[in-house]
Amino acid sequence: MEQIDFVKSVKDEIKDKNLKYVILTFGCQLNENDSEKISGMVEEMGYTKTETFEKADLVIFNTCCVRENAEERLFGKLGEIKKMKEERNTIIAIGGCMMQEQSMLDKIKKSYRYVDIVFGTHTIQTLPEDLYKVIVKNEKVKEVWDIDGEIIEGLPIKRNDKYRASVTIMYGCNKFCSYCIVPYVRGRERSRNPEDILNEIRELAKEGYKEITLLGQNVNSYAKDHFKYCKPEVKSEIDTFAKLLRAVCSIEGIEKVKFMSPHPRDFTDDVIEAIRDCPKVSRMIHMPLQSGNSKVLKEMNRGYTKEQFLELAEKMKSGIPNLHLSTDIIVGFPGETEEEFEDTLDVVRKVEFEQIFMFIYSMREGTRAAAREDQVSEEIKHQRFDRLKELYDGQVEKQNESYIGTIQDILIEGSSKNDETKYTGRTDSNKVVVFEPNGKEKIGDITKVKITENHKWFLSGEII
């Protein structure tokens, strides 16, 4: 039977029962995008969405294993819904990259036997079959496929937003940073056929989507695998990330293009030129630094030095007018000394990132960094985190002031959470802006807003 036959069988089986599902997503935008595909399939089978666990007949967890607290949250929730399972026979399914870790899979099988379905990062397309087995045959499904699965196209998708959409362009990662579990659980880099990507975006444009975020663990490694996981064979001139970016920007109706995440090591000149030449590409580029010290970067296996990162940031800023950079930084990597941490602060002072996602190093079992004996104490890690935050907060204050009086193009996302009479949206550099409606512009429009005030965590302005 094909997956479409399982969809029909489940649909027939649950017809007229008004069954509901809830999905809880942990982790990054890639996982959010997977959850949209899972929702698309489940709704095609006849389930409707609820946000309430108590009302759900099917509970799906889409997990992430990049940070430790996701495990705690998952097991906490599983404990909570055990009673629901006993009372209403709720079906429980767990997917995502945490399930690609053997130790986690073993734990679920041993201690959480009431879980019905476990699926991996690239077996989401078999969810109809898995549900069929549980509902019709009363079997549990707890097998996870090999991590280098082929690329499956054409899954239904239920998007969470009407104007902004994420499109995954590649899966997996080949970089093996020494602290990161992703290459072990998401497999090798596998690029999608550019024509499939472009067709998906053309459809989104027809549906009224205006902003597209291209997703991948390393988007600028796109096509370096020569599309060997695509079937049928790829015949396209689009064989680099820069060319894909240009092609996406040429799609009529799409007004803003973002991408997440690039790797500094692969940020080649052709990508810089494509951004410079395409005004639709956001001028806020994410460039994960992780550490500002060359020795630590080497131990992280990042493939660049402090000097090379600074040089790249400078080249990008001088090559692309109005560029803003955001970054990720890990504090307290094993063995990080005070002087090495100072180098990170030095890079932050020099580059003046618009946004910093700061993380305290946490051990991921199975990685090289976790096996090191020179772990930094929790106390020092927290002290360094606070120092970095203090430096960054001061920079944000200064940057916000520089927005006063400027005119920004803002996509109206909806009503402000704190004041429903006002609209909210974001600048190209991701600053939240709150402003009064003018009676003409509506949600989903892109409008010009003059920034008038700085409120530290958001800006306010007026439509002009």
- Rounded distance between C-alpha atoms, residue 436 and residue 440, angstroms: 11
| Rounded least distance, CB 47 to ligand SF4, Å | 32
Work out how close the CB of 327 gets to ligand SF4 at its nearest, in angstroms, rounded to a whole number: 13
Quick one: 297 or 323, whose CB is closer to ligand SF4? 297
Tokens for 422? 């006002």
Using alpha carbons, select from 40, 191, 201, 54 the residue that is nearest to residue 127. Answer: 40
Which of 22/64 has CB closer to ligand SF4? 64
In the set 100, 218, 427, 454, which binds ligand SF4 (CB under 6 A)? Answer: 218
- What is the Cα–Cα distance from 440 to 446, expressed in whole angstroms? 12
Nearer residue to ligand SF4 within complex by CB, 170 or 410 = 170
At closest approach, how far in Å is the CB of 177 from ligand SF4? 3
Number of residues near ligand SF4 (by CB under 6 A): 10
Q: Compute the Cα dihedral for 345, 351, 354, 358 and give only its sign.
A: negative
Residues 133-162, interacting with ligand SF4 (CB under 6 A): none
Q: How far is the CB of 265 from ligand SF4 (least distance, A)?
A: 9
| Residue 112 vs 184, nearer CB to ligand SF4 | 184
What character string, x for contact with ligand SF4 (CB under 6 A) and - otherwise, covers 178-217?
--x-xx---------------------------------x
CA-based nearest residue to 329, from 372, 286, 370: 286
Give me the least distance between CB of 301 and ligand SF4, in Å please: 8
Site for ligand SF4 in 164-183 (CB under 6 A): 173, 175-177, 180, 182-183
263 binds ligand SF4 (CB under 6 A): yes
- Interatomic CA distance for residues 281 and 16, integer angstroms: 46
Helices (H), 207-321: 241-249, 269-277, 294-300, 306-319
Q: How far apart are the first and last CA of the chain?
A: 58
Least separation in angstroms between residue 324's CB and ligand SF4 is 21
Closer to ligand SF4 by Cβ: residue 135 or 297: 297
Q: CA dist 298 to 161, 178, 289, 295, 369, Å?
A: 40, 9, 12, 5, 12
CA distance 432 to 413: 10
List residues binding ligand SF4 (CB under 6 A): 173, 175-177, 180, 182-183, 217-218, 263
